[in-house]
Amino acid sequence: LPCTHSETGRCFMTSQNHGYAVNADDLPKGWNALFTNENDKSNEGIIHETLPFFSVQFHPEHTAGPTDLECLFDIFVDAVKSYKINQSCNINKMITKELTFVPNIQDRPKKVLILGSGGLSIGQAGEFDYSGSQGVKAMQEEKIQTVLINPNIATVQTSKGLADKVYFLPITPEYVEQVIKAERPTGVLLTFGGQTALNCGVELEKSGVFERYNVNVLGTPIQSIIDTEDRKIFAEKVNSIGEKVAPSAAVSTVEEALAAGKLIGYPVMARAAFSLGGLGSGFANNEDELRSLAHHALSHSDQLIIDKSLKGWKEVEYEVVRDAYDNCITVCNMENVDPLGIHTGESIVVAPSQTLSNREYYMLRNTALKVIRHFGIVGECNIQYALNPNSEEFFIIEVNARLSRSSALASKATGYPLAYVAAKLSLGIPLPVIKNSVTGVTTACFEPSLDYCVVKIPRWDLAKFNRVSTKIGSSMKSVGEVMSIGRNFEEAFQKALRMVDENVNGFDPYIKKVCENELQEPTDKRMFVLAAALREGYTVEKLYLLTKIDRWFLDKLKHIIDYYTVLETINGAINAEVLKKAKQIGFSDKQIAAAIKSTELAVRILRDEYKISPFVKRIDTVAAEWPASTNYLYLTYNGTTHDLDFPGEFIMVLGSGVYRIGSSVEFDWCAVGCLRELRNQGKKTIMINYNPETVSTDYDMSDRLYFEEISFEVVMDIYNLEHPDGVVLS
């Protein structure tokens, strides 16, 4: 729970398990409140004005929770030492001195320039339309004029009624300088337009444009952005606080790259600095492969990083938020199902992490807070780790001091509006002052706790190109992604597979044939090869050695295939118990029908007879401690009650689903336009979509948002519950 220190006003995450509180209004003379619960304003600690006595209602050291206030023990020990040598001490002053942070607050701007991300490209898509739109909304709430530069017409953020002024110009230093000259903004936001906006901002800073026109970079200082992007400086800064990055070298020529490869030892990974979506990166097992990679990568960037290969390690990432007053929280932690070696944008990702121990979770969390504070980041940032699956050894892979595709996913997975909060923080507003949009009453300075499982799967459209390799690795090829929510991993995983491709029934063992080479060298269809291998009787241990996917995930996938076998052996009618169990681990009606040699409609009728129907659950990020007023909804068969009522009189709008080649952000623009017009007409709206990169899945776009499949089965289930007045399909 968030607890605020009374003297400094700083807010800290604490671990709690008590059911009572001291009444701070009638404390005896000489006693004062030390900490206060930021949510319900109850007392969390008291201190004596002169005597060396203090107590807190939480566990500063707790091994099952945050250790943000472990320093209180040091102060206690120091006080005991002072007492032993008859030296007086004032504990209140000692605590205040330890917790004091002097912020560097800039003047509040009257007009802000926001750099968009420009045209969509692989590695940079609709997520920046979502983050930019939230940034504009946050500025408008604070009565600040907004000027947006974005040449992409197929975006919501460039639509009428959002930014005060929109320039459809390239995001290049020359054009941006012209806009600054004409508009004279007093602040600029660089972290809402991806790598394009960041690189442009760095160029403008280096050429002195911001200084010449008195434009302040809001939020994360420009030097922090450079420090995280320049791999050499980044490694030095991380090492200076006692943390480790993977052994690496920054080079600028092919010869230097070969020398570095020899020094570090093969296999190595080469990647270009300041690049988008891992462009120009890959693995090299020998000099010849590295020479070819280096030639390619140095055509994209003037700096190349040679890293020690950590293929097979776990990849874990944290989304961290920090304000100008050094209040710091982790909003979401995510784990890649695929091991290191595959770009996080190409990986299947699960939130929250499923295979980390409590000790590992807090070890990485503490490091994340330490790193974000050291770099001086204000706003949102993403930190990626490589974790040794056989020990607690870990390396920091990279820090993205900007909003990214991962932050769009984390936002939608937790219901925490990261981009909106980051925009507010860039103005110097303290995190505890901002309200949590999920509950409407608690503070935004909290760490969401999820009672559900989220799975993200990328979509590749490689079949549309001739002679393109289907192998996936450290460079992004995916064009979109989906997000599913379930009460267990199997349910969420099977839902997500159907969202990626409507022609797939789920984790189907009959789509691909077993190929050990494809299990070792991942392709866009590896999951279906894995399904076939499990069907053929491959053990979890053998598959772990081939894929390096954690045994926990493999065991869950085996559970699905084992149940497939159970369904296939059924002769005659399927009973209620077997049908319900299948639905609880994510089987669709169509999938069950294929296994029992029936039809989707027959299975649906059978479900109705057995009264097996899904329950509507609300995304609740405070583990039911506060009533959630959010409109984020999902369906599950692992429930007993609905979380809300169905009064009817809604209009249902179907979203565009996953981005693919030929169907992208322009259809999200259509959906948002439809929702807005329906709202203007006084209609209540329901949105069904499963794409986390979209504006249509934002928390304030519709009255009810179902993060669900757009399939006959699911849309009909929602229709039968909601009884809408109409449905918009186009």
Q: How far apart are CA 321 and CA 379, in angstroms?
A: 6
Instruction: Return the H-helix or E-strand segment holding 670.
Output: helix 665-680
Using one digit for the tens of pLDDT, what is the confidence trace for 191-229? 888 888 988 999 999 999 999 999 999 999 999 988 988
Q: How far apart are CA 696 and CA 177, in angstroms?
A: 32
Q: Are 132 and 420 in contact (CB under 8 A)?
A: no
Rg (CA), the chain: 26
Q: What region, left, alpha or beta, does residue 214 occupy, with left being phi > 0 and alpha being psi -120 to 50 degrees?
A: left
Q: How far apart are CA 140 and CA 133, in angstroms?
A: 11
User: Which region among 378-392, 501-515, 653-667, 702-716 has the lowest average model confidence (pLDDT)?
Assistant: 653-667
Instruction: Return the H-helix or E-strand segment holding 495.
Output: helix 489-500
Q: Are 279 and 272 in contact (CB under 8 A)?
A: yes
Q: Which has more pLDDT, 663 or 433?
A: 433
pLDDT higher than 80, residue 629: no
Q: How far apart are CA 503 and CA 515, in angstroms?
A: 22
Q: What is the per-residue pLDDT for 125? A: 66
Using one digit for the tens of pLDDT, what is the confidence trace for 68-115? 998 999 999 999 999 899 888 899 999 999 999 999 888 899 999 999
Going by pLDDT thresholds of 50, 70 and 90, the confidence category of residue 271 is confident
Q: Are 21 and 56 in contact (CB under 8 A)?
A: no
In whole angstroms, what separates CA 229 from the centre of its chain? Answer: 20
DSSP state of 669: H
Tell me what the mean pLDDT of segment 692-710 comes to: 90
User: In sequence order, what are the residues at sequence separation of 6 or more whose Cβ sits closer than 8 angstroms to the Cβ of residue 236?
Assistant: none
Contacts by 430-433 with C-beta closer than 8 Å and gap 24+? 430/9, 430/11, 430/323, 430/324, 430/325, 430/327, 431/11, 431/321, 431/322, 431/323, 431/325, 431/327, 431/329, 432/2, 432/4, 432/9, 432/11, 432/38, 432/327
Using one digit for the tens of pLDDT, what is the confidence trace for 312-332? 899 999 999 999 999 999 999
pTM here?
0.90
Q: What are the tokens at 517?
A: 């080479």
DSSP-assigned letters across all residues of 439-468:
TSSSBS-S--B-SSEEEEEEE--GGGSTT-
pLDDT higher than 90, residue 248: no
Q: What is the distance in angstroms between the CA of the first residue and the CA of the last residue of the chain?
A: 44
Tell me what the mean pLDDT of segment 158-184 comes to: 94
pLDDT higher than 60, residue 278: no
pLDDT higher than 80, residue 475: no
Question: To 10 degrees, what angle do helices 600-610 and 589-596 make?
Answer: 110
Q: How far apart are CA 696 and CA 673, in angstroms?
A: 9
Q: Are 592 and 564 in contact (CB under 8 A)?
A: no
Q: Are 189 and 112 in contact (CB under 8 A)?
A: yes
Q: What is the per-residue pLDDT for 600? A: 95
Q: What is the per-residue pLDDT for 559? A: 97
Q: What are the tokens at 39?
A: 């949510």
Going by pLDDT thresholds of 50, 70 and 90, the confidence category of residue 349 is very high
Q: Are 631 and 704 in contact (CB under 8 A)?
A: yes
Alpha helices by DSSP H, 71-193:
71-84, 91-99, 127-141, 173-183
Nearest to 210 by CA among 184, 192, 230: 184
Buried b or exposed e, range 335-373, using 16+ CB within 10 angstroms:
bbbbbbbbbbbbbbbbbbbebbeeebbbbbbebbbebbe
Q: What is the per-residue pLDDT for 562? A: 97
Q: How far apart are CA 714 and CA 712, in angstroms?
A: 6
CB atoms within 10 A of CB 172: 15
- Is 503 exposed, middle or buried (CB count within 10 Å of its CB: 0-12, 13-18, 19+)? exposed
Q: How far apart are CA 463 and CA 440, in angstroms?
A: 45
* Residue located via tokens 């899945």: 697
Tell me what the mean pLDDT of segment 390-400 comes to: 90
Q: What is the per-residue pLDDT for 178? A: 97
Tell me what the mean pLDDT of segment 328-343 comes to: 90
Tell me what the mean pLDDT of segment 590-609 comes to: 95
Q: What region, left, alpha or beta, does residue 484 occupy, with left being phi > 0 and alpha being psi -120 to 50 degrees?
A: beta
The domains of the chain, with CATH numbers, are: 2-99 (3.40.50.880), 111-218 (3.40.50.20), 247-308 (3.30.1490.20), 313-443 (3.30.470.20), 455-610 (1.10.1030.10), 627-728 (3.40.50.20)
Tell me what the mean pLDDT of segment 179-186 comes to: 96
Q: Is the peptide bond before 185 cis (omega within 30 degrees of 0)?
A: no
Amino acid sitting at position 679: R
CB atoms within 10 A of CB 222: 18
In whole angstroms, what separates CA 625 from the centre of its chain? Answer: 23
pLDDT higher than 90, residue 130: no
pLDDT higher than 90, residue 703: yes
Tell me what the mean pLDDT of segment 344-370 comes to: 92
Using one digit for the tens of pLDDT, what is the confidence trace for 674-689? 999 999 999 999 999 9
Q: Are 287 and 261 in contact (CB under 8 A)?
A: yes
Going by pLDDT thresholds of 50, 70 and 90, the confidence category of residue 477 is confident
pLDDT higher than 90, residue 348: yes
β-strand partners of 632: 705
Amino acid sitting at position 3: C
User: In sequence order, what are the residues at sequence separation of 6 or more whose Cβ sits closer than 8 angstroms to the Cβ of residue 309?
Assistant: 266, 267, 268, 269, 283, 341
Return the percentage of the chain with pLDDT > 70, whole number.
95
Q: Coil, helix or strand for 633? A: strand
Q: How far apart are CA 415 and CA 454, in angstroms?
A: 12
**CA–CA distance from 45 to each of 37, 52, 443 (Å)?**
9, 14, 19
Instruction: Return the H-helix or E-strand segment holding 576.
Output: helix 576-584
In whole angstroms, what separates CA 3 from the centre of its chain? Answer: 25
Using one digit for the tens of pLDDT, what is the confidence trace for 10-63? 999 988 766 778 899 999 999 999 999 998 888 999 999 988 899 998 877 656
Summary mean pLDDT of the chain:
89
pLDDT higher than 90, residue 471: no
Q: What are the tokens at 359?
A: 């000790």
Q: What is the per-residue pLDDT for 247? A: 82
Q: What is the per-residue pLDDT for 473? A: 72
* Residue located via tokens 């230093």: 173
Tell me what the mean pLDDT of segment 337-365 comes to: 90
